[in-house]
Structure 1
Amino acid sequence: MGDKLRQAPRSFDSRMRHSNQAYLQGQAPHDEHPPICRRIGFVLLEHFSMMAFTGAVDAIVTANLISRKPLYRFETYSLEGATVRSDLGINISVDGELLALDTKDLDILIICGGFRSNLEPQRPVVAKLREAARHRAILGSLWNGSYLLAHAGLLDGYTCTVHPDSRDGLQELCPQVRLLPHPFVIDRDRISSAGANSALGMMLAVIRHHHGDETVRGIEEILACDRTLDDLPDSPMPTLVDDPTFPEALQTILQLMKNNIEEPLSIEDLALRACVSRRRIDRLFQRHLNTTPSRYYLEARLTRARRLLQQTNEPITSIAIACGFSSAPHFSRCYREFFGVSPSQVSARHRRS
């Protein structure tokens, strides 16, 4: 019994839980009930914005990667034919035609437009969009896909956004639709984004509504490589765990931890340098990070080690030292306790791949 308990992987307590979720082995999900796998359909108009589409899909796929069970499944549809040409001139194969779509168990339907897309929907298309609305699917648009929803009368009384080049036309066509000059808009069961860059933000907002801030933080950490150098292998700690709304003392302590991974400071040293009491540090971590400072520090070091094992060919002993562990055996025990596999197994997989 004791051996089995020692072999069972421990869970991450802090906000780094979702950053590491995809790499944990043999653990039960944190939720008592398995997450719902929502079905999303994308309708690709001819000359649709490839960047807007892939931004939205990237959020969905990454959400599945950091979850122990799929959170979303997506399908693509055309107005007609087996392929659709994007704005880049690349033909994309689709799963089917919109008119054949079964909307009964559809959770979200998103119209993907583009700068040169034809925005005059045929009557059967309008009927299918209205059918999806009757089945209570969330209806959305990328770029100027709002045009089709407005033609179908499905944006009456809603706020939405559209690409600036299409704003005047939509306002003239459907004055009952309230257009906002925002990157993306979510109004009850209608979602819309105005361009390529905002599609990702819109989908992250949807995922946040479904699964909370921690899931979105995990997605952002993977997708935000172009925002900061902190995501590179020489970064001492994972990004996006610090919050500007945290008390100044907690931000100071997190920064001290970030700067002292290879040679970890004691909690007493952290308290001394941050000019706060040890008791206050405990309260700050419990209130804002739902863990203890020692546990958070350990999780940060193990997360750093996991990245180095996956991204470099450094010896395990070197990685252990770089992450503040006194010996390779101690590092291996801690790593296995949390991830359910040994560092050598992770390193071997990395070399094979």
Structure 2
Amino acid sequence: MMAFTGAVDALVTANLLSSTPLYRFETIGIDSSTVRCDLGFDISVSSQIRGFQVDDLDMIFICGGYRSPLKPNDQLFDLLRTADKKGLVLGGLWNGSLFLAWAGLMDGYECTLHPENRACLEETCPRVIPSTQAFVIDRNRVSCAGASSALNMMLATIKKHYGKNVVRGIEEVLTCDKISEESGRPILTATSDPMLPEKFKEVLQLMESNIEEPLGIDELANFVGLSRRQIERLFHRYADTTPSKYYLELRITRARRLLLQTNESVTSIAAACGFLTQPHLSRCYRDYFGISPTEARQARDREA
């Protein structure tokens, strides 16, 4: 269930960040209007496999789970083979890639799945290339091994479709605490890692406390007793960015929270986050998230 909701949440959040929806999704069951998830309760599905047409789809994901029955299904296999002939991306969540492999659609592809099912995959599908990675993207096949990796897999997929700015926005919304290298990384804070150098944490705290009236890099250096060059080195080593870029990201993400969580005007939010004018905020916001503040508000209102 966590793998399913993690993957879907990434798609829904991508739509929230766009002025027009980027994705739509359907849930497909075997032969009824509900599916028993592996936690033991029923979830609704929008369609059944029998008679389902894949012509309007770009991707199909098979969602498995620790307690999901591992039984071959001819209707499912026929649907997947039809999708493969039409060039769709095929994916597996948790042990979902096992069904793709049984349908003969993973031969020669690298894939991953939950460790509990790895032996079964190796024994029954010797032409598949099993991986121990959390998630794998091999051409038009994607797979993940568990719940956390389902989110990261989908973020990597969205990044290929719409770029890193959309993914950064999704990470910000979902406050991801573990982001793969493929998908980027969340903003570092003074409390992110107790092992960070104390002087570096002091700089981060000063930035977090001075959003409305940002401090200059030289001012920050004077406050903590370091040189400008020393601060730049700390940010390069521990945040893989420059102090100025980090400070801007900190302010722009604060602006995003205010845009989506309050009804304050864009002008007021610009002032509260240290931007001289509304157009300045709008330019930086679009550069970072890919849409304007007004478009972000409109997307929020559509989802309400």
Scaled by the length of structure 2, the TM-score of the pair is: 0.70
Matching of residue 103 in structure 1 with residue 54 in structure 2? yes
Aligned length: 264
Aligned partner of 2:113 in structure 1 is 162
Q: Is the 8 A contact 1:78 1:96 kept in 2?
A: yes
Distance 1:302 1:169, change over 3 A: closer
Aligned partner of 1:264 in structure 2 is 214
Q: Is the 8 A contact 2:28 2:45 kept in 1?
A: yes
Matching of residue 135 in structure 1 with residue 86 in structure 2? yes
In 2: Cα distance, 1:53 partner to 1:321 partner: 37
Identical-residue share of aligned pairs (%): 51
Alpha-carbon displacement from aligned partner over 1:193-240 (angstroms, at most 9, x marks no partner): 11122111111111111112221111111112667xxxxxxxxxxx93
In 2: Cα distance, 1:186 partner to 1:341 partner: 33
Aligned partner of 2:18 in structure 1 is 67
2:24 aligns to what SS in structure 1? strand
CA shift, 1:169, in A, is 1.2
The match for 1:240 among 173, 182, 186 is 186
The match for 2:277 among 334, 338, 342 is 334
In 2: Cα distance, 1:337 partner to 1:112 partner: 44
CA shift, 1:156, in A, is 0.6
RMSD: 4.2
Q: Is the 8 A contact 2:91 2:141 kept in 1?
A: yes
CA shift, 1:297, in A, is 5.8
Distance 1:312 1:195, change over 3 A: same
In 1: Cα distance, 2:141 partner to 2:254 partner: 39
Structure 2 runs not aligned, ≥5 long: 179-184, 190-200, 283-291
1:84 aligns to what SS in structure 2? strand
Distance 1:214 1:168, change over 3 A: same
Alpha-carbon displacement from aligned partner over 1:308-337 (angstroms, at most 9, x marks no partner): 576579x99xx8899476xxxxx8x83487
Matching of residue 213 in structure 1 with residue 135 in structure 2? no
The match for 2:27 among 76, 95, 101 is 76
Distance 1:265 1:179, change over 3 A: same
In 1: Cα distance, 2:63 partner to 2:152 partner: 15
Distance 1:324 1:94, change over 3 A: closer
In 1: Cα distance, 2:262 partner to 2:56 partner: 44
Aligned partner of 1:236 in structure 2 is none
Structure 1 runs not aligned, ≥5 long: 1-49, 228-238, 244-250, 326-330
Distance 1:120 1:224, change over 3 A: same
Distance 1:266 1:145, change over 3 A: closer
Scaled by the length of structure 1, the TM-score of the pair is: 0.61
In 1: Cα distance, 2:49 partner to 2:6 partner: 21
What letter corresponds to residue 240 of structure 1 in structure 2? Answer: P
Distance 1:265 1:77, change over 3 A: same
Q: Is the 8 A contact 1:59 1:219 kept in 2?
A: yes
